[in-house]
């Protein structure tokens, strides 16, 4: 596979610049604040149905999307708000979709689990556990077929990683050297069932080996480590060597969805993760120690992020519901 020359991006082995670290902090904070606000709007009845929050896992998508280039494709499951923001989609359009408004990314017809942006290379937002994995493989197939230099990133949870279609995908991607990064966001629980209770081997990344897929495991609570692993993986993929399987070990602070009280784990387990491994707190300490930012600097970032999130909530609530005529549009494309 030929690779096009892309804007300079530090390859594996290069530490992120201070500016990049500050951007990671801001991007992760935006996801966290956005999700907290979404949870609040859900509580007010403004967001309906299912709503799966990404709080706790922010370092995974922010670290990996730092390795993406224009023209790459991203696809994920229903826990997708963070991926959309990390791909550069507007908070306004995402929040408006969550609230079922005409100004949402899917005109209010998709909801929390179904948003897309061709412009940003984001291909959903899929509600069937594991279905995004062959779709991501197909996006990679298209990149290779068109020889456009792009790669696909297919995110899944530890729960999805037990679906048969994941292994069908690993097999085909390896057989055909497709440019795809499979990312397992192992947050320890598939809904309420722990990895130990669902997986005969808990070393998830090891399941790439039978398919000759390069496999790696990374601390998914450390955005710098995720970026470093991501660059190693994407350098490999962009060199035409085939797919990579990455297990990012992370943690979700909230329940599986808004109605899940998460009784299957202890409060101590959650508190320990929050206190010791929070990706945002840890990066904040790093930036403080580096003297990259002082309290005023953090306050300014906090305010910027809060302004974006508050504006998105206001935009969503002020936007109209879809026109009734929208019921009958977008069913098929006129031939």
86 and 27 Cβ atoms separated by less than 8 Å:
yes
Question: What is the Cα Rg of the chain in Å?
Answer: 19
In the complex, least distance from residue 178 CB atom to other proteins, rounded to whole angstroms: 9
* Phi, psi (rounded to 5 degrees) for 76: -150, -170
Given the complex with other proteins, which of 8 and 295 has the nearer CB atom?
295
In the complex, least distance from residue 109 CB atom to other proteins, rounded to whole angstroms: 5
Residue that the structure tokens 């790669």 belong to? 151
Given the complex with other proteins, which of 168 and 235 has the nearer CB atom?
168
Which is nearest to 95 in space by CA: 39, 156, 29?
A: 39
Grouping H, G, I as helix, E, B as strand and the rest as coil, residue 152 is strand
In the complex, least distance from residue 322 CB atom to other proteins, rounded to whole angstroms: 9
Given the complex with other proteins, which of 35 and 228 has the nearer CB atom?
35
In the complex, least distance from residue 41 CB atom to other proteins, rounded to whole angstroms: 9
> Going by C-beta distance under 8 Å and a sequence separation of 6 or more, which residues neighbour residue 186?
157, 158, 161, 195, 204, 220, 247, 248, 249, 250
Strand partners, 154: 75, 182
In the complex, least distance from residue 252 CB atom to other proteins, rounded to whole angstroms: 13
Given the complex with other proteins, which of 131 and 191 has the nearer CB atom?
131
Burial of 317 (0-12, 13-18, 19+ CB in 10 A): middle
Tell me the C-alpha distance between 38 and 17, whole Å. 31
In the complex, least distance from residue 36 CB atom to other proteins, rounded to whole angstroms: 5
Take residue 190 and report the two structure tokens written for it: 């598939």
Measured over the CA atoms of residue 138, residue 115, residue 247 and residue 160, the dihedral's sign is negative
Given the complex with other proteins, which of 19 and 332 has the nearer CB atom?
332
In the complex, least distance from residue 229 CB atom to other proteins, rounded to whole angstroms: 24
Given the complex with other proteins, which of 20 and 260 has the nearer CB atom?
260
Given the complex with other proteins, which of 22 and 41 has the nearer CB atom?
41
Given the complex with other proteins, which of 231 and 313 has the nearer CB atom?
313
In the complex, least distance from residue 20 CB atom to other proteins, rounded to whole angstroms: 25
321 and 106 Cβ atoms separated by less than 8 Å:
no
User: Where do the H-state alpha helices sit in 153-246?
Assistant: 164-175, 195-198, 223-238
């Amino acid at each position: 596979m030929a690779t096009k020359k892309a804007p300079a991006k530090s390859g594996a082995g290069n530490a992120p610049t201070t500016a990049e670290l500050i951007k990671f902090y801001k991007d992760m904070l935006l996801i966290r604040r956005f999700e907290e606000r979404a949870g609040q709007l859900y509580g007010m009845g403004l967001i309906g149905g299912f709503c799966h929050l990404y709080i706790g896992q922010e370092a995974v998508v922010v670290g990996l999307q730092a390795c993406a280039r224009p023209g790459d494709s991203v696809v994920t499951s229903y826990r997708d708000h963070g991926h959309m923001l990390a791909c550069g989609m507007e908070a306004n359009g995402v929040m408006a979709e969550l609230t079922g408004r005409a100004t949402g990314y899917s005109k209010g017809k998709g909801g929390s689990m179904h948003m897309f942006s061709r412009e940003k290379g984001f291909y959903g937002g899929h509600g069937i556990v594991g279905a995004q994995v062959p779709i991501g493989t197909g996006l990679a197939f298209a990149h290779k077929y068109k020889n456009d230099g792009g790669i696909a990133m297919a995110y899944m949870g530890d729960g999805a990683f037990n679906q048969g279609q994941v292994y069908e995908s690993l097999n085909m991607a390896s057989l055909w050297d497709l440019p795809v990064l499979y990312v397992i966001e192992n947050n320890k629980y598939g809904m309420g069932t722990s990895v130990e209770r669902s997986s005969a081997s808990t070393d998830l990344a090891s399941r790439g080996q039978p398919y000759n897929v390069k496999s790696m495991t990374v601390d998914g609570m450390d955005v710098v480590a995720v970026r470093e692993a991501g660059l190693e993986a994407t350098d490999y993929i962009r060199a035409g060597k085939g797919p990579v399987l990455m297990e990012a070990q992370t943690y979700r602070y909230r329940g599986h969805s808004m109605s899940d009280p998460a009784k299957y784990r202890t409060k101590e387990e959650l508190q320990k993760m929050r206190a010791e491994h929070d990706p945002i707190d840890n990066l904040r300490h790093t930036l403080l120690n580096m003297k990259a930012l002082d309290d005023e600097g953090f306050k300014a970032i906090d305010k910027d992020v809060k302004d974006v999130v508050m504006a998105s909530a206001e935009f969503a609530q002020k936007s109209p519901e879809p026109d009734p005529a929208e019921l009958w549009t977008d069913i098929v494309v006129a031939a």
